[in-house]
């Protein structure tokens, strides 16, 4: 037996994109059902990046999606780029008038889930989507298997794929055309450790031994990453070996060490779906694009997609005005490709490739110096890092 439910917008994926979209739509009186294959606990405990652009923070706080982002997040007014043993600070407010906030993504997810549940949002965890159809009509649908094994059919007016890099909605939108794609010959070895921050701001370090990023989570927990092989086994290194690898990549800064409480290997690639919309289905967030993590654009780009889509769906569903949904893919693409470029650029400028020649290495140092020694260079980096303004 199949249980049928009706809603205006069927949202697949309860990550930042899907949850924020349901929150924004609800504010306009547009109801939605949000489905996610994962449990609430899994969503709330998966460790992701921690840097939010100023516009992301504004959207989360002004719309009531998160009160804690301002109360518990910490404002960062700069980062350090470190190479050849020296640190170079990029000061965001003086270059752009903006800052970023350090607030872990899973905390933002806890806030969004709590806000949606308090508003009695229909939010279904452990529900696996099995099909998407009729997206080129006014009555698209999604079928799914619920946590209790029941078959569901959600009949909607619009379907949104916000279901991450392994999106099940994506094939319905892109057909066989797939996407633009690039892999990288390295990955990040990430740790969480019980120790106070080693530096009050984040350090992005380029060294002959490879890249490292010294980030933080709280006054007592640090998040750090170092460049590793994509096939690396996170359990193959002892704690001592991890600290040695990290310290070798951040010469000149003594790292605060402590027990390592979590370790993971993040593989990365650049991807943009060839199609972001087909009829009454749209892709947002990681379902539409993934970026390498250097520069922390992933969640911020998802939020920018959703702000655009919210406006387009309000016009379509409340006023039968198709204009914004018709231009959604083109408008979203502009920011997506700027973020793709920035993430690729930060990655290529800071990591060292195993097959880099002496020329490549010296050119890379020349590039880093061109950025830090030029106000235009620092401004370019700071504008992208703190986030371009959302489209008016």
Question: How many angstroms separate the CA atoms of 310 and 69, rounded?
Answer: 21
Q: Which is nearer to ligand DHB, 121 or 294 (CB)?
A: 294
Per-residue CA distances from 382 to 55, 214, 306, 337 (Å):
14, 18, 23, 17
Q: Which is nearer to ligand DHB, 73 or 293 (CB)?
A: 293
Active-site choice (16, 140, 197, 293): 293
Q: Which is nearer to ligand DHB, 32 or 343 (CB)?
A: 343
**Is 297 a residue of the active site?**
yes
Active-site choice (76, 104, 289, 351): 76
CA 106 to chain centre: 11
User: How is residue 62 annotated by DSSP?
Assistant: H
Active-site choice (23, 103, 292, 297): 297
Instruction: Output b/e per residue, 155-186; b: 16+ Cβ within 10 A.
Output: ebbbbbbbbbeebbbbebbbeeeebeeeebeb
**Rg of the chain, C-alpha, whole Å:** 21
Question: How many angstroms separate the CA atoms of 197 and 367, rounded?
Answer: 28
Binding site for ligand DHB (CB under 6 A): 49-51, 202, 213, 215, 223, 293-296
Q: Which is nearer to ligand DHB, 74 or 143 (CB)?
A: 74
**Is 338 a residue of the active site?**
no
Minimum gap (Å) between residue 254 Cβ and ligand DHB: 20
**Is 180 a residue of the active site?**
no
Minimum gap (Å) between residue 345 Cβ and ligand DHB: 13
Minimum gap (Å) between residue 96 Cβ and ligand DHB: 17
**Is 259 a residue of the active site?**
no
Minimum gap (Å) between residue 76 Cβ and ligand DHB: 10
**Is 385 a residue of the active site?**
yes
> Residue 327 forms beta bridges with which residues?
none
Q: Which is nearer to ligand DHB, 285 or 295 (CB)?
A: 295
Active-site choice (204, 225, 289, 351): 204
Minimum gap (Å) between residue 374 Cβ and ligand DHB: 22
Q: Please spell the DSSP secondary structure of 309-356, one letter per residue.
A: HHHHHHHHHHH---HHHHHHHHHHHHHHHHHHHHHHHHHHHH---TT-
Which residues have a catalytic role annotated?
A: 76, 204, 293, 297, 385
């Amino acid at each position: 037996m199949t249980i049928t439910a009706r809603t205006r917008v069927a949202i697949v994926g309860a990550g930042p994109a899907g949850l924020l979209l349901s929150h924004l739509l609800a504010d306009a009186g547009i109801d939605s059902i949000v489905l996610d294959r994962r449990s609430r606990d899994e969503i709330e405990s998966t460790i992701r990046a921690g840097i939010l652009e100023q516009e992301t923070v504004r959207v989360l706080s002004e719309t009531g999606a998160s009160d804690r982002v301002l109360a518990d997040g910490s404002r960062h007014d700069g980062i350090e780029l470190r190479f050849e043993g020296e640190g170079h600070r990029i000061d965001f407010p003086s270059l752009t008038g903006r800052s970023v906030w350090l607030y872990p993504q899973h905390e933002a997810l806890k806030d969004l889930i709590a806000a949606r549940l308090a508003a009695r949002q229909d939010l279904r965890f452990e529900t696996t989507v099995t099909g998407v159809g009729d997206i080129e009509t006014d009555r698209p649908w999604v079928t799914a298997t619920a946590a209790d094994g029941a078959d569901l059919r959600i009949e909607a007016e619009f379907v949104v794929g916000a279901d991450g890099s392994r999106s099940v909605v994506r094939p319905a939108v892109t057909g066989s055309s797939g996407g633009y794609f690039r892999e990288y010959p390295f990955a990040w070895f990430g740790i969480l450790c019980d120790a106070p921050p080693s530096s009050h701001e984040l350090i992005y370090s380029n060294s002959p031994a490879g890249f490292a990023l010294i980030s933080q989570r709280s006054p007592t927990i640090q998040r750090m990453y170092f460049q590793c092989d994509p096939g690396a086994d996170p359990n193959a290194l002892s704690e001592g070996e991890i600290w040695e690898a990290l310290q070798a990549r951040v010469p000149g800064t003594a790292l605060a060490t402590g027990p390592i409480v979590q370790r993971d290997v993040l593989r990365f690639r650049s991807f943009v779906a060839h199609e972001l919309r087909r009829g009454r289905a749209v892709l947002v967030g990681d379902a539409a694009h993934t970026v390498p993590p250097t520069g922390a654009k992933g969640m911020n780009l998802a939020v920018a997609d959703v702000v655009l889509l919210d406006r387009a769906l309000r016009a379509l569903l409340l006023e039968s005005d198709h204009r914004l949904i018709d231009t959604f893919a083109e408008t979203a693409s502009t920011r997506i490709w700027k973020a793709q470029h920035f993430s690729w650029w930060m990655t290529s400028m800071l990591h060292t490739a195993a097959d880099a020649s002496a020329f490549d290495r010296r050119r890379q140092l020349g590039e880093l110096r061109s950025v830090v020694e030029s106000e235009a260079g620092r401004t370019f980096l700071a504008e992208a890092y703190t986030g371009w303004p959302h489209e008016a």
